[in-house]
């Protein structure tokens, strides 16, 4: 199999198990595209692949840093592209698996870097927005970078686009074109896994129950003793369980809050992925993991 196979989709759709079974069948290596699997100290609340999976199939970007360290999408892009190119050069099949939309998009389409921040300039732009309104800055962006202005309407992103232009003299849209991802350079097929909403939410709720039964509270209690990075502290479960540990609500309320936030996260993931027309969707409602793998093998 010469193509790089992406297995993506919202949380709780069985991506990990299916990627593992599929990778075993084709003797592939797995490149994780799940930004919460980077951290060594977190396993239960991230549904990290069990040890036997990690031993049976080589996994990349699982357990690579401490939860006290930050790992940006740009860090991931640089490292993951190199690893994928190296594996591909060995003619070894590759399965990319995960649900972190921004990280997957970076892999596919590239991400630009090297443009720093100018706090003074940013503060000046924020002051102008406060004084004249967001539309004033949007119009300024439209004059220098109409392509980006057409695409963004969020004040933070408008300010960043103006900042990039004023620091470099190059529109953000042009900067992004300079960044090259894997799409168009390597053969790729993308498959998205999904269930009907009620079934997906049922799976999410059950998975959270299993996390609590498996020691999620103890895990978060240990994590809170660390100085978590700005990226790891966003893992769903940390905030929800820490509220319980602080006595703000009981354990059942913590559990329900985690279920709700995970369902909302899945909804955002689906919105993100649905916009990418390169993805071939597989409805999992009536399919076992083996049946999904068989279908992938036939594509």
**pLDDT at 299 (0 to 100):** 84
Under 8 Å between Cβ of 10 and 100? no
CATH of 4-111+188-298, one of 3.40.50.2020, 3.40.50.2300, 3.40.50.300, 3.60.20.10: 3.40.50.300
**pLDDT at 173 (0 to 100):** 82
pLDDT along the chain (299 residues), means of 10: 92 98 98 97 98 98 97 91 96 97 94 74 92 94 93 90 86 76 96 97 98 98 96 96 98 98 98 96 96 94
Measured CA distances, 241 to 67, 74, 263 (Å): 17, 30, 16
Where helices occur in 179-288 by DSSP H, the ranges are 197-213, 216-223, 238-245, 251-274
Under 8 Å between Cβ of 5 and 92? no
DSSP-derived secondary structure letter, 285: T
Distance CA 125, CA 159 (A): 7
CATH class of the domain defined by 119-177 = mainly alpha
Under 8 Å between Cβ of 189 and 22? no
DSSP-derived secondary structure letter, 39: B
**pLDDT at 74 (0 to 100):** 85
**pLDDT at 204 (0 to 100):** 98
**pLDDT at 271 (0 to 100):** 96
Q: What is the pTM of this model?
A: 0.83
Task: Spell out the domain ranges in the chain.
Answer: 4-111+188-298, 119-177
**pLDDT at 115 (0 to 100):** 65
**pLDDT at 113 (0 to 100):** 65
């Amino acid at each position: 199999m010469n193509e790089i196979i992406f297995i993506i989709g919202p949380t709780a759709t069985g991506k990990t198990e299916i990627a593992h079974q599929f990778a075993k069948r084709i003797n592939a290596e797995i490149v994780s595209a799940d930004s919460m699997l980077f951290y060594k100290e977190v396993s239960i609340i991230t549904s990290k692949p069990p040890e036997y999976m990690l031993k049976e199939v080589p996994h990349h970007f699982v357990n690579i840093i401490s939860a006290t360290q930050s790992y940006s999408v740009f860090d991931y892009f640089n490292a993951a592209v190199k690893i994928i190119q190296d594996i591909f050069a060995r003619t070894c099949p590759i399965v990319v698996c995960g649900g972190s939309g921004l990280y997957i998009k970076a892999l596919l389409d590239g991400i630009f870097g090297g443009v720093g921040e100018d706090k003074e300039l940013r503060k000046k732009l924020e002051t102008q927005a406060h004084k004249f309104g967001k539309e004033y800055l949007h119009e300024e962006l439209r004059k220098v970078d109409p392509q980006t202005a057409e695409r963004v309407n969020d004040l933070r992103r408008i300010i960043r686009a103006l900042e990039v232009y004023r620091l470099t003299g190059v529109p953000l849209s042009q900067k992004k074109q300079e960044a090259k991802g894997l799409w168009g350079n390597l053969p790729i097929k993308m498959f998205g896994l999904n269930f009907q909403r009620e079934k997906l939410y049922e799976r999410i709720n059950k998975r959270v129950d299993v996390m609590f039964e498996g020691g999620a509270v103890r895990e978060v209690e240990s994590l809170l003793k660390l100085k978590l990075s700005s990226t790891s502290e966003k893992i769903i479960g940390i905030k929800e369980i820490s509220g319980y540990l602080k006595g703000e609500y009981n354990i059942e309320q913590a559990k329900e809050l985690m279920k709700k936030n995970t369902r909302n996260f899945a909804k955002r993931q689906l919105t993100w992925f649905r916009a990418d027309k390169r993805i071939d969707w597989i409805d999992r409602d009536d399919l076992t993991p083996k049946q999904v793998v068989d279908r992938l093998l036939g594509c």
